Amino acid sequence: MDPKNPETKDLEYQALGEVFEVPIGPIHPALKEPIRLTFRVRGERIVGVEIRAGFVHRGIEFMGMRQGRNLIQVLYLAERICGICSISHPIALTQAVERAAGIEVPPRAQYIRVIISELERIHSHLLWAGVAAHELGFDTLLHLTWRVREKVLDILEELTGNRINYAIPIFGGVRRDITPEQYPKVWEALRYYRGLLEQLLDAFLHDPTVEARTRGVGILEPKEAEELCAVGPTARASGLRKDVRQDRPYLAYSDFQVKAITPADYGLTPMGDVYDKIVVRLLEVGQSLEIIEKALENMPEGEITSFPKIPALLAHLKKAEGEGLGWHEAPRGEVIHYIRLVAGEEAPLVWKVKAPTYSNLLSWRPMFEDQEIADIPIIAACIDPCICCNDRFYIVEGSREKIVAKEELLRLSWEKTRKISAHHRGEHGGAG
Amino acid sequence: MKASQVLSALSTALGEKLKNYELRPREVGVRQKWTVEEIWAEVSRDAIPEAVATLKSLGPLHISVISGHDAGEEIELLYHLAVGFGTEGGEVMVTLRTRVPKSDPAVPSICGILPGAETTEREKIEFLGVDFPGIPRKDHVFLPDDFPGHPWRRDEPELGKYLHYMVEWEKDDGSKES
């Protein structure tokens, strides 16, 4: 039978029996963050999927536009959209505001933004590789990957003071310079990863278990990826040369001549399956190392911000009138922020955030189609979904959905803390 | 792809329906300077599908997002599209601006031309109350189905208070809950 022919496919499905619905999520061991995927299955075969997001949407855009926050406060909010992309959103937002308010960014600051972004990509891709190994039931590889990931987090902590939420970009520049004593530490980390990359590629790509679980699983055809506007490694694994750093350069990225990576760069014909997504992400770790090396070698001297005094910056922003777009290739794909400023107002009139997972949600549909139930966790994970980038808040109570305000959440968490401390004090019949 | 190429294709296809347009070039790069051009154009709402189809005929088309805003009597929508990915510096960002009256807030859906626009159109249905005739499904993406109103509208003061209560937890005098 021809599997591409819809009629024979339908007959095949019918032979498998009745259609059942299998809900996965919002809270489920297979998912790292809350989302609800309702699968229609015949036997073990998936015949359709319904995707419902929104379980951790916090109304961040509303909080930025309507609650009287000034732009610097909005910047800190943007940083908290996502822990893993915690420099991607500030980079997109600062560029949008700099466009709207006509602010220049000194060359050295652009280089520092690029370096921190690429370090973030390394830590994010290694985080994902570990999660993927875990979803495949290969926890040894998870622990290996996450152990080597610590090094890049240490460097980020050295340069910014934090493992995540770096607070580096500010409108007009960056908040911290890279000092002469820090250079050798960064170089040392780069050498460490250079030495590891081959090992990682070998551990993931030449392992029969990984190959068996990922080859031909969760395929996204190039045509589908293009039509559904997939972004990041999800699109590139299908063979699309789509990377914002290459297509619409920004900051200092044109200095590094970034080329979008596809599995073809590893000598493979892109299939768009989970295996290809591993290939692309691991190769991109190497690409990021290269960009950071070039950036360190060619680092321009000079100021790191065009507004060293925050009150002057705030005053300038308050007078600014205009609109602007800022974009960035985050580890998961294109992040874009639109902002509109009105003179005399501290808060932006319009702020729209688009995270990569928002663009990749639709790609899940063809990826799940005709797959096995047992492959749901790895296919769900393969776009590297970042639900917190994407979302809002409500709970499901029985079959009824209701919204929970922050106040109620706090009350519940206090209640729980009280219960736990009471338990520890032995008020519940003593520790047994 | 060049922005001028995209602009001339748009003006040939749309004629009068392309109202205002401007090129906003941005200089990027430190040692390797590059000019990235952006097109910002205003079109009437009926011309949106035609404009998107024209862009699609020029090269691979990507929709980043549709942003929107409550402008009093009207709702303003901005379609942020990018045409021509795949070459270094070869993608042109095109923002199409359109306005719809609140009395009839509808724009023809572009999902038939660009299926990837579904999520962002659906988001505008729930957040701004704009309808997109022709969209394959209208379910909410983010908000519960029975959510009272459209959060980005500024003409619903009661909803504004409710949202304030949902996202902030300070008391009215600014003090924190104890």
Query: Domain holding B78: CATH number?
Result: 3.30.460.80
Among all residues of chain B, which has the CA nearest to that of A230? B116
CB–CB contact A247 B87 (8 Å): yes
Strands A333-341 and A350-354: antiparallel
CB–CB contact A110 B26 (8 Å): no
CB burial string B55-67: b at 16+ within 10 A, e below: bbebbbbbbbbbb
- Give chain B's length: 178
DSSP letters spanning A348-390 = -SEEEEE-HHHHHGGGHHHHHTT-BGGGHHHHHHHT---HHHH
Domain extent for B64: 3-167
Output the pTM of the full model. Answer: 0.89
pLDDT in tens, B10-37: 999 999 999 889 999 989 999 999 899 8
| Residue A392: per-residue pLDDT | 36
Cis peptide before A106 (omega within 30 of 0): no
Judging contacts by C-beta atoms under 8 Å, the chain B residues touching residue A57 are 142-143
**Measuring CA to CA, which residue among A87, A125, A78 is closest to residue A279?**
A125
Residue B175 lies in a domain: no
Residue B134 lies in a domain: yes
Spatial distance between the Cα atoms of B33 and A165, rounded to a whole number of angstroms: 30
What's at B135, amino acid-wise? I
CB–CB contact A254 B33 (8 Å): yes
Numbered ranges of CATH 3.30.390 in chain A: 18-56+361-424
Number of domains into which chain B is organized: 1
Residues 348-377 of A with CB under 8 A from B: 349-350, 352, 354, 358-359, 361-362
Q: Is A384 an interface residue toward B (CB < 8 Å)?
A: no
CB–CB contact A300 B166 (8 Å): no
| Residue A394: per-residue pLDDT | 39
> How many CB atoms within 10 Å of residue A412?
11
Judging contacts by C-beta atoms under 8 Å, the chain B residues touching residue A357 are none
Rounded CA Rg of chain B = 19
Among all residues of chain A, which has the CA nearest to that of B176? A407
Q: Is the dihedral of CA A150, A256, B38, A94 positive or negative?
A: positive
pLDDT in tens, B35-68: 998 999 999 999 999 999 999 999 999 999 999 9
CB–CB contact B29 A254 (8 Å): yes
Nearest to A252 among B29, B84, B167 (CB): B29
Nearest to B144 among A242, A248, A403 (CB): A403
Residues 132-151 of A with CB under 8 A from B: none
Judging contacts by C-beta atoms under 8 Å, the chain A residues touching residue B118 are 362
CB burial string A144-180: b at 16+ within 10 A, e below: bbbebbebbbebbeebbeeebbbbbbbbbbbebebee
Among all residues of chain B, which has the CA nearest to that of A258? B88
CB–CB contact A240 B85 (8 Å): yes
Judging contacts by C-beta atoms under 8 Å, the chain B residues touching residue A111 are 30
Spatial distance between the Cα atoms of B169 and A380, rounded to a whole number of angstroms: 34
Strand order across the beta sheet in which B92-101 lies: B18-23, B38-43, B92-101, B74-83, B61-71
CB–CB contact B142 A254 (8 Å): no
Spatial distance between the Cα atoms of B77 and B97, rounded to a whole number of angstroms: 6
Q: In a 10 Å sphere around its CB, with 0-12 CB exposed, 13-18 middle and 19+ buried, how is residue A133 labelled?
A: buried
CB burial string A190-199: b at 16+ within 10 A, e below: beebeebeee
Answer for the pair A238, A177: CB distance below 8 angstroms, yes or no.
no
Q: Is A186 an interface residue toward B (CB < 8 Å)?
A: no
Provide the mean pLDDT of chain B.
91
| Residue A429: per-residue pLDDT | 46
Residue B177 has pLDDT above 80, yes or no: no
Among all residues of chain B, which has the CA nearest to that of A390? B142
Min distance B16 CA to chain A CA atoms (Å)? 25
Residue B173 lies in a domain: no
**Measuring CA to CA, which residue among B80, B40, B78 is closest to residue B62?**
B80
Answer for the pair A69, A77: CB distance below 8 angstroms, yes or no.
yes
Q: How many CA atoms lie within 13 A of A416 on its CB side?
A: 6
Q: Is A55 an interface residue toward B (CB < 8 Å)?
A: no
pLDDT in tens for each of the 432 residues of chain A? 455 565 666 666 566 667 888 888 888 887 888 888 889 888 889 999 988 888 888 888 988 998 889 999 999 999 999 888 889 999 999 999 999 999 999 999 999 999 999 999 999 999 999 999 999 989 999 999 999 999 999 999 999 999 989 999 999 999 999 999 999 999 999 999 999 999 999 999 999 999 999 999 999 999 999 999 999 999 999 999 999 999 999 999 999 999 999 999 999 999 999 999 999 999 999 999 999 999 999 999 999 999 999 999 999 999 999 999 999 999 999 999 999 999 999 999 999 999 999 999 999 999 999 998 888 888 888 887 777 666 534 333 444 455 566 677 778 778 888 887 887 776 554 443
> How many CB atoms within 10 Å of residue A185?
14
Judging contacts by C-beta atoms under 8 Å, the chain A residues touching residue B153 are none
Residue B177 lies in a domain: no
Residue A334 has which token pair? 């294109």
DSSP lists the bridge partners of residue A36 as A52
Answer for the pair B12, A235: CB distance below 8 angstroms, yes or no.
no
Residue identified by tokens 């095109």 is B94
Q: Is A413 an interface residue toward B (CB < 8 Å)?
A: no
Strands B38-43 and B92-101: parallel
CB burial string A80-98: b at 16+ within 10 A, e below: ebbebbbbbbbbbbbbbbb
Residues 25-84 of B with CB under 8 A from A: 26, 28-34, 36, 38, 60, 62-65, 67-69, 78, 80, 82, 84
Residue B12 lies in a domain: yes
How many A-B residue pairs are in contact by the CB < 8 A criterion?
A: 166
**Measuring CA to CA, which residue among A43, A190, A204, A65 is closest to residue A115?**
A190
CB–CB contact A227 B177 (8 Å): no
Spatial distance between the Cα atoms of B59 and B2, rounded to a whole number of angstroms: 11
Numbered ranges of CATH 1.10.645.10 in chain A: 61-359
Residues 90-109 of A with CB under 8 A from B: 99, 107
Residues sharing a CB contact under 8 Å with residue B34, sequence separation 6 or more, in sequence order: A249, A254, B27, B28, B89
Name the DSSP letter for residue A341: E
Q: Is A114 an interface residue toward B (CB < 8 Å)?
A: no
Answer for the pair B107, B125: CB distance below 8 angstroms, yes or no.
no
Q: Which of A37, A251, A254 to mutate to test the interface with B (most CBs of B within 10 A)?
A: A254
CB–CB contact A59 B165 (8 Å): no
| CATH hierarchy code of domain A61-359 | 1.10.645.10
| Assembly ipTM | 0.94
The domain at A18-56+361-424 falls in which architecture?
2-Layer Sandwich (3.30)
| Residue A34: per-residue pLDDT | 87
| Residue A402: per-residue pLDDT | 56
CB–CB contact B165 A407 (8 Å): yes
Min distance A203 CA to chain B CA atoms (Å)? 30
Nearest to B91 among A231, A247, A405 (CB): A247
What's at B171, amino acid-wise? K
Q: Helices marked H in A33-138 — which ranges?
A: 60-66, 71-79, 88-101, 107-135
Spatial distance between the Cα atoms of A97 and A108, rounded to a whole number of angstroms: 19
Residue B82 lies in a domain: yes
Name the DSSP letter for residue A260: -
